[in-house]
Amino acid sequence: MRLATWNVNSVKARLPRLLEWLELAGPDVLCLQETKLAADAFPAGEVKALGYDTAHHGEGRWNGVALLSRAGLDDVRRGFDGDPGWSGEPGGEEPLLDEPRREARAISAVCGGVRVWSVYVPNGRTPESAHYGYKLNWLAALRLAVAADLATGAPVAVCGDFNVAPADSDVFDIKAFAGATHVTRPERDAVAALLDAGLSDIVPKPMKGPNPFTYWDYRAGMFHQDKGMRIDLVCASPTIAGAVKGAYIDREARKGKGPSDHAPVVIDFDI
């Protein structure tokens, strides 16, 4: 199976590139994040023409996750039990609502015998923000949900934009992130706890240069100077991790006109 994950930063803005990439890379399953589409607005017909079934969990201009599969798409679950939800505006830092609202940040399904998750972890904004606490709570709840899947003994892969760089080597300069999210100890501990539930972080090879970065800010020169981060992860159960034949970051998809600020991560395995 070829499994991939990609934060496309708007399917509407990136649709021609998405369709082209599906034809070129040929993943059996693709996890998407930041679709930024309403629940019923995903262009399923366009990807169906390439042989892919679609499951989408969207909420309009914010967030959104999807699974595209030509290996089956069974037992689709949108969200997960225990999701703490967010009590503020989608782009805000502080709670404003009386009741938390569950955002479109996780979807999973069985594809070719593998329970595949596509996740878009909350950003956290700043360590002082209430959104940071939401991020940690969301990751803790995700761990419990994934642990339940792992307990069945079935192969599991949790893929997506984690908004966490697991190690200092996963950012271009750790000093540049002083006082910022994505690199704090609580965030890294939360991802480590997810892995400790029974998953391995499949670190892909870069297509160019020494750094396995998957995200580069749009600011001029960041991509060309390789000033990026590895925040898009594929976390796999032992059956998958032990069968990986290759894993790479498709830097080419980050080039050209109107790219996403993330590159796809692709892994190949036989089970």
Q: What is the pLDDT of residues 27-45, one digit of tens each?
A: 999 999 999 999 999 999 9
pLDDT-based confidence at 24, cuts 50/70/90? very high
Determine contact, residues 266/232, Cβ cutoff 8 Å.
no
Mean pLDDT, the chain, integer = 96
Beta strand pairing call for 215-216 and 205-206? unpaired
- pLDDT of 93 > 80? The answer is no
Convert the pLDDT of each residue in 6-19 to its tens digit.
Answer: 999 999 999 999 99
Among residues 73, 79, 68, the alpha carbon closest in space to that of 46 is found at: 68
CB-based burial label for 239 (10 Å; 0-12, 13-18, 19+): middle
Query: pLDDT tens across 61-77, in order?
Result: 999 999 999 999 999 99
For residue 198 the two structure tokens come to 């029974």
Strand partners, 156: 115
The answer on pLDDT for 98 being more than 90 is no
Q: What is the CA radius of gyration of the chain?
A: 17
Across 81-88, average pLDDT: 94
pLDDT bracket for residue 194 (50, 70, 90) = very high
* Per-residue pLDDT at 97 exceeds 90: no
Average pLDDT on 51-56 reads 98
pLDDT band for 216, please (50, 70, 90 cuts): very high
Where does the pLDDT of residue 209 fall: very low under 50, low under 70, confident under 90, or very high at 90 and above?
confident
94: pLDDT strictly greater than 90? no
Contacts of 22 (CB under 8 A, 6+ apart): 30, 47, 50, 52, 68
Which residue(s) pair with 33 in the sheet?
A: 7, 65
How remote is the C-alpha of 261 from its chain's centroid? Answer: 13
DSSP 202-220: -PPEESSSS----EE-SST
- The bridge status of strand 65-69 relative to strand 74-78 is unpaired
Q: Residue 31, SS3? A: strand
What was the pLDDT predicted at 40? 95
Grade residue 208 by pLDDT with cuts at 50, 70 and 90: confident
Give the percent of the chain with pLDDT over 70. Answer: 99
Q: β-strands 232-236, 156-161: how paired?
A: antiparallel
74-78 β-sheet, strand order = 74-78, 106-111, 114-120, 156-161, 232-236, 200-201
The pTM is what?
0.96
Give the pLDDT mean for 221-239: 97
Residue 221 DSSP label = T
Confidence of residue 150 (pLDDT cuts 50, 70, 90): very high
